[in-house]
Amino acid sequence: MRPLLFLLLLGLAGCVNVGQGTSPSRHYLIPSLADQVPQVPEPDAGAASLTIGPVTLPGYLDRPQLVRRNGDRIEPAPFDRWGGPLGEQLGRVVAENLERLTPRFLLVGNGNYRLTLNLQRLDAEARRIRLSLHWQLENRKGEQLARGRFDADDTLTDTSAEALVKGYGKLLEKFSRELARQLVGLAL
């Protein structure tokens, strides 16, 4: 009986955290134009229905943690996490941005056109951030109507996770503005 009690107490002692608090996880959402312009303009009468997705991303980014680069090494942040899957966030941000940038498209779940995004890089190294992605617009039959590549970088004011996530939002806004200009020029 005593050895069993001793083992039980020893096991419980291992669960006690004396003087060492754990850092709480922080969860982040990439900001979009919806945070600045909450009202969505009415779509044009002949607006084309557009679906965004799938969004593909490299394996090193397909994780809950924010990731920084250090040369050829990646460093996942132990307590800074995405508020949801990164691919879903990218799709949401681009959709919210396009809704506010052009009334030519009605963003829906099963549209006549599909915009796919293939993320190549979403990097932070020191105070430098970079976004690189390929995009493609297809009709319902899967025929490619347009495609492009976007590359941009920016400098952060500080190295905090908050600044990093806001910086990613600004890069995605630049991409969305460029994409909107190209999509509006298409005869759909």
Mean pLDDT of the chain: 88
Report how far residue 21's alpha carbon sits from residue 188's, in angstroms, rounded to the nearest whole number: 57
Q: What angle do CA 13, 16, 18 make, to 5 degrees?
A: 115
Cα separations in angstroms, 164 against 55, 68, 108, 157, 186? 21, 10, 29, 9, 33
Q: What pLDDT sits at residue 5?
A: 53
100-143 residue pLDDT tens? 998 888 888 888 999 999 999 999 998 999 999 999 999 999 99
Task: Indicate if the pLDDT at residue 94 is higher than 70.
Answer: yes
Contacting residues for 77 by C-beta, under 8 A, at least 6 apart:
65, 66, 67, 68, 161
Q: What pLDDT sits at residue 110?
A: 87
9-67 residue pLDDT tens? 555 555 555 445 567 899 999 999 999 887 877 888 888 899 999 999 999 999 999 99
Domains of the chain: 27-41+57-184 (3.40.50.10610)
More confident residue, 1 or 74: 74
Taking each continuous run of H as one helix and of E as one strand, the counts in the chain are 3, 8
Cβ atoms of 98 and 173 within 8 Å: the answer is no
Q: What is the secondary structure of 124-164 as a DSSP string?
A: EETTEEEEEEEEEEEETT--EEEEEEEEEEEE-SS-SHHHH
132-171 residue pLDDT tens? 999 999 999 999 999 999 999 999 999 999 999 999 999 9
Nearest 5°: phi and psi at 141?
-80, -5
Q: What pLDDT sits at residue 104?
A: 84
Helix axes of 161-184 and 86-101: crossing angle, nearest 10 degrees: 50
Task: Indicate if the pLDDT at residue 1 is higher than 80.
Answer: no
Indicate yes or no: pTM above 0.75. yes
Q: What pLDDT sits at residue 98?
A: 94
Report how far residue 82's alpha carbon sits from residue 89's, in angstroms, rounded to the nearest whole number: 9
The letter for the amino acid at 145 is L
